Amino acid sequence: MKIKHKHFEHLKGEIESVLEKYPGLVQEYETGNFPRSESTKNLQQRFCFDLAYGAGLSRWISDNLYPYMNDDHLFTALKRIAPTVERKY
């Protein structure tokens, strides 16, 4: 996984805060209760990147992570942090 430890810990802390604040979020994604769910091909990827966006990390990711990694590396890190979602719709 290509991410600095301090960046991973920051990402993890922010995402865990979102998950604590919205305990039903996993169920919403699993049941398709989110915008444009019908056109989502990779549910896990959509969930992970929506979590990062919902945590307000877009600018931080652009400033701190994209200088040395890409979306594939970011998705790998996010999968380690986020719960696994299963499509049930």
Distance from CA of residue 47 to its chain's centroid?
6
Tell me if 86 is assigned to some domain.
no
Tell me if 15 is assigned to some domain.
yes
Q: Count structural domains, the chain.
A: 1
Tell me if 40 is assigned to some domain.
yes
pLDDT digits (tens, 9 = 90+) for 24-76: 999 999 999 999 999 999 999 999 999 999 999 999 999 999 999 999 999 99
Q: How far apart are CA 44 and CA 50, in angstroms?
A: 10
- Residue 1: pLDDT band (50, 70, 90) is confident
pLDDT digits (tens, 9 = 90+) for 77-89: 999 999 999 999 9
Residue carrying the six token digits 């039903």: 24
What residues make up the domain containing 38?
5-81
Tell me if 87 is assigned to some domain.
no
